[in-house]
């Protein structure tokens, strides 16, 4: 059996589409790489300037996944490469009963199952550490704010006390005392030595199975310490134990997300639906343009605040600009969008192209999803690349270290630097044709309950549950994660959304997946009229009226950045508690159709451990171990109630998600619609 045959055989177990035809070598401009016409136009502009982008570099490996990868390492793709010690690196093949390979164990004797499982937990651990670091920054800021050491304020004392109540802090205290206590518990959850995370046990209802399998996470630091020890050469060898610890780390990751989003609400305000725009054309040729990119919004909140400072605006005008324009990229952009309506210029895949417009005076980054190549692109223009966090330094960037105590001065310094850079803008500026897309974003559990309370003040969740029970809302699917150049960017998210909306499934979205839907025009009331099934359409019309709008609510609800996946999980828990069932019993699922980052593996693994079914549109590097594949896609459902399934084709993925929802409805006794008898649309042809 050849390597290719082995890969195809394992692929079929995962229900992965491996029928894509080989495409001949083509120039980049002829490849279908994105659903968005403006992005395609920017890619061609970058080509004309001789600038390589993530799309160009991906094309060297064969382009989007409809093209078979030509240059990727087989061993890395299968998860079979091990570099844990000086005897390696070892590259092995999974042992097969049909054929004996010369090398089917590492030098130390590690099997394919051990190596794949070990590589998987290391991915989950790095994703968890990223989210826990985010949570630490947010919690530390709350603590210092309570101690009057920062210029931030506590904007939502009511939410702070609600968090305290969930953490069993009931004594009468001042707001500052409550903030100190809450932040101290959060920091202990991240770095302490406790036997369980308070934000996990207080927010996420755990089952007897979680206790039996020892899935209740201790502090993130303790879990990461044990993971690093286990994955060291010559320590843990049991693949099942690796996967179970990965599940525990995933639950710690979810708790870290809860810390980030809940405390961010206390400091910056609870999101509520707000109108804004998305697209390259939110950059203004006449203004000083500042792009904020990353995930930790602490500094960006201050940049947005002081961008309205009269003295700074007057300075910009004195240098020839008409004002200051702050726009968002990736998840820092999502965070300031959901609270302030700051427009979005692009997602993780567009960051290089944003600079290539020649219109960016200051490109300010904090942490995570920042492509190193932005340094090379910025050198071609006048753009000041400004790094702000110690975890994310760049060799040629201007580094202005952020600290909470001096946040005001640092934000003003960065704004001044960008303003003074405006006269250096060259003549080679370019933005795509067309206008930015309208969108509504800023959903949260509190915002939803506030809207529903206009329908039922005594029991706000009752109308939502009633519409789910009746089938008016057939189910809820969370579109999460990144956008990827391994597929036609945005297309998987958008196709799944449209397929599900037509069958009355409500869509929640976060991160760059939400931005993909926004670029496709799915975050407006008009999209409800165009894409939602008749029953869902009526629900969203009623909710729009209850919210005081003259149009329906959008059919895709934008909940924020990566950390705000916790909002959707908390909404699911609220529904489960109300119904007296577990989260695994709900007609709810998750799709990470274009996942990229290790953070996505952590969120996905945590969601499965909590009982959710999670779709992946890009195959994770686990195919080298049939045992790991079985654990994640089959046995996980028996252990946790949730599982992964992999399906690159978005139409088929939508069908599987609908089947899952149908099964959940059947178990709840509310399956009456036979919705799967309706034919699914075929994949539309997508052109650049």
Q: pLDDT tens for residues 669-680? A: 986 544 444 444
Classify the phi-psi angles of 269: left when phi > 0, otherwise alpha if psi is within -120 to 50, otherwise beta: left
Q: Is residue 615 within 8 Å of 651, Cβ to Cβ?
A: no
| Minimum mean pLDDT range among 69-83, 379-393, 556-570 | 69-83
- Decide if 280-424 and 448-677 have a common fold: yes
- Count other Cβ atoms within 10 Å, centred on residue 559: 28
Q: Spell out the alpha helix ranges (H) of 269-379.
A: 298-306, 310-318, 330-340, 351-355, 374-378
Distances (CA, A) of 216 to 211, 219, 586, 609: 6, 10, 22, 10
* Token pair 């500094």 in the structure block, residue: 299
Give the pLDDT band (50/70/90) at residue 193: confident
What does the pLDDT look like over 212-224, one tens digit per residue? 899 999 999 999 9
The pLDDT of residue 99 is: 57
What does the pLDDT look like over 402-442, one tens digit per residue? 999 999 999 999 999 999 999 999 998 999 999 999 999 99
Long-range contacts at 458-466 (CB < 8 A, ≥ 24 apart): 461/574, 461/575, 461/578, 462/578, 464/575, 465/575, 465/578, 465/579
The number of angstroms, rounded, from the C-alpha of 613 to the middle of its chain's C-alpha atoms is 16
* Phi, psi dihedrals of residue 562, rounded to the nearest 5°: -55, -45
Task: Identify the bridge partners of residue 386 per DSSP, sorted by sequence position.
Answer: 364, 398
The pLDDT of residue 194 is: 84
Beta-sheet pairing, 81-82 with 90-91? antiparallel
Task: Mention every residue, 6+ apart, whose C-beta is less than 8 A from residue 247.
Answer: 213, 215, 605, 606, 608, 609, 640
Using CA atoms, how far apart are residues 362 and 224, in angstroms rounded to an integer? Answer: 36
280-424 carries CATH number 3.30.70.3270: no
pLDDT of residue 6 exceeding 60: no
Distances (CA, A) of 88 to 103, 233, 451, 472, 548: 13, 11, 59, 57, 64
CATH of 448-677, one of 3.30.1360.80, 3.30.465.10, 1.10.940.10, 3.40.50.2030: 3.40.50.2030
More confident residue, 406 or 27: 406
| CA neighbor of 290 nearest in space, from 355, 229, 337 | 355
pLDDT of residue 10 exceeding 80: no
Using CA atoms, how far apart are residues 492 and 34, in angstroms rounded to an integer? Answer: 10
More confident residue, 70 or 97: 70
- Count other Cβ atoms within 10 Å, centred on residue 388: 27
DSSP codes joined into one string, 223-267? HHHHHHHHTSTTS---HHHHHHHHHHHHHHHHHHHHHHHHHHHHH
Q: Is residue 605 within 8 Å of 639, Cβ to Cβ?
A: no
The pLDDT of residue 672 is: 52
CATH architecture of 113-268: Up-down Bundle (1.20)
DSSP codes joined into one string, 197-210? -HHHHHHS---HHH
What does the pLDDT look like over 618-639, one tens digit per residue? 999 999 999 999 999 999 999 9
The pLDDT of residue 678 is: 41
| Minimum mean pLDDT range among 194-198, 444-448, 457-461, 494-498 | 194-198
Token code pair at residue 164: 């305290």
pLDDT of residue 70 exceeding 70: no
Q: Is residue 382 within 8 Å of 417, Cβ to Cβ?
A: no
Going from N- to C-terminal start, the domains of the chain cover 3-105, 113-268, 280-424, 448-677
pLDDT of residue 199 exceeding 60: yes
């Amino acid at each position: 059996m050849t390597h290719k045959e082995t890969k195809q055989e394992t692929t079929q177990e995962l229900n992965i589409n491996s029928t894509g035809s080989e495409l001949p070598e083509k120039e980049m401009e002829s490849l279908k790489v994105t659903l968005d016409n403006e992005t395609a136009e920017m890619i061609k502009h970058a080509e004309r300037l001789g600038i390589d982008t993530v799309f160009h570099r991906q094309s060297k490996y064969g382009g989007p996944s409809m093209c078979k990868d030509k240059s990727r390492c087989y061993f890395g793709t299968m998860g079979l490469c091990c570099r844990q010690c000086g005897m390696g690196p070892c590259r092995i093949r999974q042992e097969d009963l049909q054929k004996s390979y010369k090398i089917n164990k590492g030098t130390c004797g590690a099997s394919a199952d051990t190596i794949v499982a070990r590589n998987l937990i290391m991915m989950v651990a790095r994703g968890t550490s990223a989210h826990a670091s985010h949570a630490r920054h947010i919690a530390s800021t709350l603590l210092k704010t309570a101690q009057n050491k920062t210029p931030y304020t506590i904007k939502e004392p009511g939410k702070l006390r609600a968090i305290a109540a969930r953490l069993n802090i009931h004594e009468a205290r001042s707001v500052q005392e409550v903030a100190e206590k809450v932040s101290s518990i959060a920091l202990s959850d991240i770095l302490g030595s406790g036997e369980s995370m308070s934000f996990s046990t207080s927010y996420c209802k755990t089952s007897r199975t979680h206790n039996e399998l020892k899935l209740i996470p201790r502090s993130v630091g303790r879990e990461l310490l044990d993971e690093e020890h286990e994955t060291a050469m010559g320590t843990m060898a049991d693949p099942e134990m690796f996967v179970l610890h990965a599940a525990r780390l995933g639950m710690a990751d979810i708790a870290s997300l809860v810390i980030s989003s809940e405390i961010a609400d206390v400091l910056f305000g609870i999101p509520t639906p707000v109108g804004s725009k998305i697209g390259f054309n939110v950059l203004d040729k006449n203004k000083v343009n500042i792009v904020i990119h990353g995930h930790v919004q602490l500094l960006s909140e201050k940049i947005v605040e002081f961008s309205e400072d009269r003295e700074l605006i007057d300075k910009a005008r004195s240098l020839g600009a008409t004002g200051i324009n702050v726009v968002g990229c990736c998840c820092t952009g999502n965070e300031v969008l959901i609270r302030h309506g700051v427009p979005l210029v692009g997602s993780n895949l567009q960051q290089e192209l944003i600079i290539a417009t020649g219109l960016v005076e200051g490109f300010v980054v904090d942490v995570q999803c920042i492509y190193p190549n932005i340094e090379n692109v910025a050198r071609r223009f006048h753009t000041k690349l400004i790094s702000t966090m110690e975890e994310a330094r760049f060799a040629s960037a201007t580094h202005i270290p952020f600290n909470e105590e001096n946040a005001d001065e640092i934000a003003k310094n960065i704004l001044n630097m960008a303003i003074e850079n405006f006269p250096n803008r060259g003549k080679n500026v370019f933005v795509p044709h067309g206008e930015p897309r309208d969108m509504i974003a800023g959903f949260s559990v509190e915002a939803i309950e506030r809207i529903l309370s206009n329908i039922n003040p005594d029991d706000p969740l009752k109308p939502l549950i009633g519409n789910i029970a009746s089938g008016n809302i057939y189910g809820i699917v969370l579109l999460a994660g990144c956008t990827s150049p391994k597929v036609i960017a945005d297309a998987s998210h958008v196709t799944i959304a449209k397929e599900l909306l037509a069958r009355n499934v409500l869509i929640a979205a976060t991160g760059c997946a939400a931005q993909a839907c926004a670029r496709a025009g799915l975050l407006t009331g008009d999209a409800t009229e165009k894409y939602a099934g008749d029953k869902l359409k009526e629900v969203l019309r009623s909710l729009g009226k209850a919210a005081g709008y003259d149009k329906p609510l959008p059919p895709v609800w934008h909940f924020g950045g990566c950390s705000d996946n916790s909002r959707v999980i908390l909404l699911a828990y609220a529904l489960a508690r109300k119904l007296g069932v577990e989260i695994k019993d709900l007609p709810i699922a998750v799709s990470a159709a274009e996942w990229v980052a290790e953070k996505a593996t952590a969120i996905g693994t945590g969601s499965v451990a909590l009982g959710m079914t999670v779709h992946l549109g890009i195959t994770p590097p686990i195919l080298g171990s049939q045992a790991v594949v079985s654990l994640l896609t089959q046995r996980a459902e028996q252990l946790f109630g949730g599982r992964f399934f992999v399906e690159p084709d978005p139409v088929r993925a939508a069908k599987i998600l609908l089947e899952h929802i149908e099964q959940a409805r059947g178990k709840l006794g509310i399956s009456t619609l036979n919705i799967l008898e309706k034919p699914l649309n075929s994949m539309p042809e997508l052109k650049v």
